[in-house]
Amino acid sequence: MKKVVLAVFAFLFLSAASYAQQLPVADVSAEYSFLFLAKGYTLKLNGGSAAVAFNINRWLGAVGDFGSYDGAPGIPGLVGETYIFGPRFSFRRWNRLIPFVQGGIGGVHANTTNNGFLGANNGFAYSGGGGVDVALDRAGRLAVRGQFDFPTFRANGVNTGTLRLSAGIDFRLGKK
């Protein structure tokens, strides 16, 4: 009987401790992004990106990442947009610190005012990278995010490798 009572007490204690580590249904982030293209001539574009990730389990999620970048003041009229979808792998060992890696495929669009940085309006894009979320509150609903990615754009048979650095905020929605 002692073992049964001890097992019930341990179960209740451990389930209460795991309550704080519940998985959010989704993460939504908004970030400032700096896109650096070093092919041909160097382009430095400033812009923003947003991502929505649906968490399938504690370590796997599906993410959609959308970005818009402006070449001004260096190159007026140069604007580019990216949209990339793929998996995100998160390491949820700690409550306040969650590192992740992600990759995906999608597309890129650039304006044609200066023939764009692709030499075309639309192209194929793929990306890989990672980052870390640092929770600002005890519940972990709001976090600061730092992220780096290595997107590659392909148009007219030419690959253009880039570097994207992003920093922003992340909102965690719901509980699984």
Expressed in angstroms, the distance from the first to the final Cα of the chain is 34
| Mean pLDDT score, 145-153 | 94
Class of the CATH domain delimited by 23-173: mainly beta
Is the pLDDT confidence value at 121 over 90? Answer: no
Would you place residue 174 in the very low, low, confident or very high pLDDT band (cuts 50, 70, 90)?
Answer: confident
Is the pLDDT confidence value at 129 over 90? Answer: yes
Q: Which of 13-17, 94-98, 135-139, 165-169 has the lowest mean pLDDT?
A: 13-17
Q: What pairs with residue 17 in β-bridges? A: none
Greater confidence (39 vs 7) lies with 39
pLDDT digits (tens, 9 = 90+) for 83-117: 999 999 999 998 889 999 999 999 998 775 555 55
Here the tokens at position 170 are 């992340």
Would you place residue 155 in the very low, low, confident or very high pLDDT band (cuts 50, 70, 90)?
Answer: confident
Q: In the prediction, which pLDDT does 113 show?
A: 57
Closest listed residue to residue 152, CA positions, set 175, 118, 176? 118
How many Cα atoms are found within 13 Å in the side-chain-facing hemisphere of 109? Answer: 5
DSSP per-residue letters across the chain: -HHHHHHHHHHHHHHHHHGGGPPPSEEEEEEEEEEEE-SSS-EEEEEEEEEEEEESSSSEEEEEEEEEEE-TTTSTT-EEEEEEEEEEEE--SSSSEEEEEEEEEEEEEE-STT-TTTSSSEEEEEEEEEEEEEESSTT--EEEEEEEE--EEEETTEEEEEEEEEEEEEEEE---
Q: Tell me what the pLDDT averaged over the chain comes to.
A: 83
Q: In the prediction, which pLDDT does 2 show?
A: 60
Would you place residue 123 in the very low, low, confident or very high pLDDT band (cuts 50, 70, 90)?
Answer: confident
Q: In this structure, are residues 162 and 151 in contact, taking their beta carbons and an 8 Å threshold?
A: yes
pLDDT digits (tens, 9 = 90+) for 22-73: 789 999 999 999 988 877 667 788 999 999 999 999 999 999 999 999 876 6
Q: In the prediction, which pLDDT does 117 show?
A: 54
Domain ranges of the chain: 23-173
